[in-house]
Structures are given as C-alpha cells and as structure tokens.
Amino acid sequence: MIKKNRTIAIASAFAVALTMTGSYVARAADLPIVRIEVGGLSKQIYIHAKLSETLGNYKKYGVNVQLTDEAAGASAEDDMLAGSVDLVLGFYDHNIDLQTKGKSTMEVAQLLQSPGEVELCRIDLKDKIKSPADWKGGASLGVTGLGSSTNFLTLSLGKKAGVPAQDMHSYVAGAGNTFIAAMKNKAIDCGMTTEPTVSTVLSQGLGYVLVDMRYGNLTKVALGGPYPATCVYGRTDWINAHKALVQKVVDAMMDTSYFIDTHTAAQITEKIPADYYAGPGKDLYIKALNDEKVMYNVNGRMLIGGPASVLKIDGYGKLATGGWTKAQVAAVNLSATYTNDFVNRAIADIAKKKLTTQ
C-alpha cells in the first residue's frame, strides 16, 4: 500500500510538473518579440547578447528576444534599416555615420567603454611593421566588412600615423576562422579583430599585437581619445514607438552587466555556449575575458565626451576617403545619436541588485 501511494504521489508530482512546464512555455510564447542582430555573437565584445539569454534575463523582464548573427556590424545595420530586425548590438559610431546619410538612429545602452579591438600583424612581418606608420607604400589590412567599425578604426589609425588613405587597402577578412585563414594565407598584412580570435591567432603563432585597444588608457593612446563601442541601437522612430519593449531589453542587458561585474571570467564562461571558446580553448578564453573585463561599461551610460571623440576619430578615415564631407560633419547633432533615459530607468528597476552607478 505504501509503495502504491508513493507511486501515485510521484505520478501526481510529475503531472503537476508537466502542467507547470506547459504553462511556462505558453507564457514564454506570449511574450512580446524583439529581434536583435549582432555583428558576431561569439565575440567577447558582444557577450551581453547571448549571456542575457542564457541567464534568462530576457524572459525575466518580460521580452522574447530573437537573436540573429551577422558577420559584420555594417550588415546588421542594413538589416535594421530595412526593418528585418528591430535593434542591433553594434558599435556606437554607426549612429553618427547614419545621421550623415540622413538616417535617424539612437543608442539606448552603452555596453563597452573601449573598442576591445586589436590590430594584429602577420608574424613574418614583425621586423618590417612596427607601427601603423609602416603601412606606407601599401598594406593589405583586414576588416570585418567595408563600412564596418573596424574599417573606420583602421583608417583612423593609419591617418593618425600619417599614412595616405590610398596606401591602406581594406580587405574583408571577417572574424574567427575567416580572419585566421586570411592570416595563414597571407591575404592580409595586418588586421583588426577581437577576442577570442586574438588569443587564437597569438596561441597559434600566426601574428603579433601592433595596436591594442582593449583597455581605456591604451585606446586613448592609439586613437587620441575615448571610443565608446558596443551599444544597443535602433531606428529612432521604432524606439519611440516601442519604448516599453526597449525598456525591457535594456533592463535585461543592465542586469547582465551587473552579472559580468560581480562574477569571475570563469563563472561567466560557464554561462556561454562551448563553441564560443572552441578556437582558443576554454583556459585562453577565460584569461582573455579576465584581462579585458575593464572594457565593459557597467552603468550603461554614454561616456562623457565620448560622442565628440568618436566623431573626431572616425573623421580621420571618413574625410580622407570621401565618406564624409566637412559640411556633413559640421551638421551632426550628437545629442540625437544616444539617450541615457532607458539605462537610468533600468538602474532604478534593478536597484536591488546594487548595480554600480558611478
């Protein structure tokens, strides 16, 4: 009799579990959908996108985020403008560039306070290329895509070093395996990429660091000022028409920022898919993440002086190549390219988490 009652109890508990699971799935399916595209989901500079999902933060704040992956930020930007996605996780500078083209977009959460980018050069060129100034005479420079942030930054590095724009030949090397292949095949002399690709290239002895922009002080040395990078942005009209939805997304991202700030690199790595660190290996991935954790902007606000600095830095390359005119630069309204309203509200929404607000 005892065994029978125990069996009935287990069966009843299982039935309750199924009912609860079914109810949960139904609720999840009923959540409003927001489509977010990322210019490289596995990159550490974009870790908020997937980490927010694995931590359950999107559902926690009442939104069903559908993530899509794209090789470069410029492609994600195009999809957002076309309306096939709602928001983008990409570099802030796209908002300035789009404004010069008559498009109105804005950043709603600033997730990185430095680019997290590294200019790597082929190991066989170590005695020949010791600074961007050595690109004079012609160099094949790898970028994630034409019109991408890496394209802008590469041109800026060269221009700051006195290299004529015509001497810098941009080669679309992508990231990850395609970037590594471009190094191996000598399709590029140098190239700009992020972690974990950086650690993979270095561990395989394929390249060396020419310029490091993973940390704030090094970014200022390399570029001449701060460069707020990864952010959440979208069309201004869409954001204004969906403020409640945008707030849910920002709340989730800020909760994830708190997690990043209060957990070790090893603990964070346990929450991401294993294939994200398959290239360099788990230990190297953790070390790279630990070393560059300072690049994350915990409070989500735009850096003071950041927009003006980005405009100046991007202007090196864009003006030199005819991408911008002086009149376009003079007409840029930086205050329209970002807002702190959503992150300020998010900080209040999750105050119990004691999110850093400095």
Query: Domains in the chain, please, with CATH?
Result: 10-115+228-301+327-353 (3.40.190.10), 117-223 (3.40.190.10)
Rounded average pLDDT over 282-299: 94
CB 131 within 8 A of CB 322: no
- Total-model pTM: 0.85
Distances from the Cα of 74 to the Cα of 91, 125, 147, 345, angstroms: 10, 29, 6, 29
Q: Is the pLDDT of residue 111 over 50?
A: yes
Query: What's the confidence (pLDDT) of residue 284?
Result: 93
Q: What is the mean pLDDT of the chain?
A: 87
pLDDT (tens digit, 9 = 90+) per residue, 20-68? 333 334 355 689 999 999 988 999 999 999 999 999 999 999 999 999 9
